[in-house]
Amino acid sequence: MNIPNSSSAPAPGEYAGDEVSAIVLDPGWSTTRAGFAGEDVPKSVIPSFYGQIDSDSGSQYLFGENAIHNPLGNLQVKNPWGDDGIVEDWETATKLWEYAITSKLTGTKAGHPSKNGLNDGNDTNGDAMDVDMDTVENQEKPLEDSPLLVTEPGWNSAKAREKTIEIAMEEWGTPAFYLQKTGVLAAFASGKASGIIIDVGASHTSVTPVLDGMVLRKGVQKSTLAGNFVSNQIRLIFKQSQPEIPLTPHYLVKAKTPVDAGAPAQAIYKTFNIPPHDSFRRLEEERVLTEFKESVVEIWPGPGRLSNGTNEEIAKSMPGRPFEMPDGWNQVFGLDRFRPAEALFDAKAAVQDADNPRPKDEHTIPRLVQAAVQHVDADQRPLLLQNIVVTGGSTLLYKFNDRLNYEINSIYPSTRNKLIAPGPVVERKYAAWIGGSILASLGSFHQLWISKKEYEEHGANIVEKRCR
Ligand X SMILES: Nc1ncnc2c1ncn2[C@@H]1O[C@H](COP(=O)(O)OP(=O)(O)OP(=O)(O)O)[C@@H](O)[C@H]1O
Q: How far apart are the first and last CA of the chain?
A: 41
For the CB of residue 216, give the shortest distance to other proteins in the complex, in Å: 4
Residue 376 in the binding site for other proteins (CB under 8 A):
yes
30, 92, 156, 232: which one binds ligand X (CB under 6 A): 30
Window of 217-225, 318-326, 332-340, 389-397 that interacts with other proteins by CB under 8 A:
217-225
17, 28, 173, 326: which one binds Mg ion (CB under 5 A): 28
413, 416, 423, 424: which one binds other proteins (CB under 8 A): 413
26, 144, 145, 327: which one binds other proteins (CB under 8 A): 145
Residue 393 in the binding site for ligand X (CB under 6 A):
yes
Residue 418 in the binding site for other proteins (CB under 8 A):
no
For the CB of residue 209, give the shortest distance to other proteins in the complex, in Å: 9
202, 236, 351, 389: which one binds ligand X (CB under 6 A): 202
Residue pair 259/330 in contact (Cβ under 8 Å)? The answer is: yes
201, 302, 359, 422: which one binds Mg ion (CB under 5 A): 201
List Cβ neighbours of 277 (8 Å cut-off, separation of 6 or more).
Answer: 74, 75, 76, 77
- Of the pair 256, 429, the CB lying nearest ligand X is at 429
Strands 195-200 and 205-211: antiparallel
Q: Which of 385, 466, 437, 382 is nearest to 147 (CA)?
A: 437
Residue pair 24/34 in contact (Cβ under 8 Å)? The answer is: yes
Residue 404 in the binding site for other proteins (CB under 8 A):
no
SS (H, E, C) 134-151: CCHHHCCCCCCCCCEEEE
Residue pair 251/270 in contact (Cβ under 8 Å)? The answer is: yes
Window of 216-224, 252-260, 268-276, 284-292 that interacts with other proteins by CB under 8 A:
216-224
Residue 403 in the binding site for ligand X (CB under 6 A):
no
Rounded Cα distance between 90 and 166, Å, is 11
Distance of CA 177 to the CA centre of its chain: 21
Rounded Cα distance between 419 and 404, Å, is 9
Residue 3 interacting entry, from other proteins, ligand X, Mg ion, none, C-beta within 5 to 8 Å by type: other proteins
Residue 204 interacting entry, from other proteins, ligand X, Mg ion, none, C-beta within 5 to 8 Å by type: ligand X
Q: Own/partner pairs for 64-72, CB < 8 Å, 24+ apart?
A: 64/99, 64/103, 68/283, 69/251, 69/283, 69/284, 69/287, 71/251, 71/272, 71/275, 71/276, 71/280, 72/276
Q: Enumerate residues 106-135 that contact other proteins by CB under 8 A.
A: 113, 130, 132-134
Q: Count the site residues for Mg ion by CB under 5 A.
A: 2
Task: Point out which residues bind ligand X (CB under 6 A).
Answer: 28-31, 201-204, 226-228, 290, 293-294, 392-394, 396-397, 429
